[in-house]
Structure 1
Amino acid sequence: MKKSEVTEENNRSLFIKVIVVLVFTSLMLGIIVYLNKGSTNVRRVALENLADQFASSVRNAHWQWQGEGRPQIIMLITYANKLGENKQLIETSRKPIFMTHEGWPKAEPTSEGCAEIWDMALNMPMEVKGFKILAEYYDGVKLNNEPLDSVCRYRLSTGPYFEYKVFTGQVLPVKN
C-alpha cells in the first residue's frame, strides 16, 4: 500500500469511529431526556391524585360539619377500603379538623398553617414519590386586595402545584 492509501484508510477508520460515538451519544441523550420527562409526568400524576384526595377530604369535612350542626371542630374519621373480620368497617385514622365559620378546614394564615391543613385533611406526609411538597400561604389582600382570595399552595420544588382557597374551600386543579 502506498502512503497516501494508508493515510486515507486511517482517516476513513477515524471518521467511522467518530460517527459511531456520535450516534451512541445521541441515543443515550435521547433516552435520558425521555426518562427524565417521564418522571416529571409521574410526579404530576401523583400530585393530581393527592389534590383529588385533598378536595374529597375537604368536601367530606364540610358536609360532616353541616351534619353535626356546624361545630368549631369536627373529628374526621378515615376507614380502610375493605371490611374487617366481623364485616365491620376498619378505622384507619381519626383526626380533629378546625373549621371556619363557613365550614372549611382552617389554620393560621401562614405557610405552617397550610401544612397543618394538609395534615388535617390528608393525614399523610407532604411528599410525592420521594419529593417533598412545600406549603405556601398567599394572602389575598397582598395578591389583589381581596381577603377572600387567600390560598394555600402545595407544590413540588419545581413544576406542578395545586391551590386550596382558604375561605371558600375550593381546590384548584394542578398547574405547572
Structure 2
Amino acid sequence: MRSSEASEFKLRNQLMNLLVVVLVFGLMASGIWYFYDNEPDYQRQTLRLYASTYANNVQQANALWQVEGKPPRVLLVQYDKDMRVTDRFPVAMNHLGWPSADESNEGCEKLWRGLVGEPAQVDSFRVKATYVDGLQSDNDKRLSACRYRLSTGPYFEYFPFTGRLKTDKL
C-alpha cells in the first residue's frame, strides 16, 4: 500500500508541474500575441503626418498663387521650429491654381519634395511616388493623380486638377 501511495503522490506532483509549465507558456504566448498585435504602426502614422503636411502646403500654395496674381510657379518656404528659413522650393501650378507635377513618377516625387520639404521616405523606407494617368484608367484627365505609397500598403493620392487629397487608404 505504501508504494501505491508514493506512486500516486509522485504522479500528482508531476501533473502539478506539467500544469504549471503549461500555464506559464500559455501566459507568455498570450502576452507576446497581445503586444505584437497592439504595436502601433509607426510607418502608417508617419505617412499620415506627411499627408497632412502635404495637404496644408497644397492649400498654402493655392493661396499664394491667388495672392501673387496667378503665376505659373510659387515659392514655398520651409521653416524650422525657431522660424528660421531652412529651404525654399519652387512649385509649378496649373491653370486652376493647384500644385502640379510632370506627368511621370519622377514628377510626382519632385512635387512631394516641394510640398513636404523632405525626401520621399519614412523611417529609411522609400515612399514610392507613382503617377496615375486618369485618361488610361478612367478616360478622364481630371482623375490623374500622384500616389504616394509605402511598401507595406498604405498610401494617399493627390489630384492636381482639384487640389484634393484622398487619404482613405491610410
The question of a shared fold, defined as TM-score above 0.5 by the shorter chain, is answered with yes
Report 1:96-111 matches (<5 A).
96-111=90-105
Deviation at 1:24, TM superposition (A): 3.7
Judge conservation of contact 1:131–1:156 (CA < 8 Å) in 2: yes
Deviation at 1:20, TM superposition (A): 4.1
Matched residue, 1:55: 55
Structure 2 segments unaligned to the other structure (5+ residues): none
Judge conservation of contact 1:48–1:174 (CA < 8 Å) in 2: no
Pick from 143, 158, 165 the counterpart of residue 152 of structure 2: 158
Q: Deviations over 1:20-64 (max 9, x none)?
A: 444444434433443334444333322221111110011111111
TM-aligned CA distance change 1:67 to 1:130, over 3 Å = same
Amino acid across the alignment from 2:117? N
Matched residue, 2:130: 136
Amino acid across the alignment from 1:36? Y
CA distance in 1, matches of 2:32, 2:151: 21
TM-aligned CA distance change 1:79 to 1:34, over 3 Å = same
CA distance in 1, matches of 2:36, 2:164: 32
TM-score (norm 1): 0.79
Pick from 83, 87, 90 the counterpart of residue 84 of structure 2: 90
Q: Deviations over 1:121-172 (max 9, x none)?
A: 0111222334332222221122222111112121221232211112211112
Q: What SS is found at the alignment partner of 1:125?
A: coil
CA distance in 1, matches of 2:101, 2:107: 5
Alignment size in residue pairs: 169
Deviation at 1:103, TM superposition (A): 1.8
TM-score (norm 2): 0.81
Report 1:1-176 matches (<5 A).
2=3, 6=7, 9-10=10-11, 13=14, 15-82=15-82, 89-176=83-170
Instruction: After the TM superposition, list the runs of 4 or more consecutive aligned residues in structure 1 that deviate by more than 6 angstroms.
Output: none
Q: What SS is found at the alignment partner of 1:103?
A: coil
Q: Deviations over 1:61-94 (max 9, x none)?
A: 1111111111112111122343xxxxxx521211
CA distance in 2, matches of 1:22, 1:142: 59
Deviation at 1:19, TM superposition (A): 4.0
CA distance in 2, matches of 1:127, 1:72: 28
TM-aligned CA distance change 1:76 to 1:70, over 3 Å = same
Deviation at 1:120, TM superposition (A): 0.9
TM-aligned CA distance change 1:99 to 1:39, over 3 Å = farther
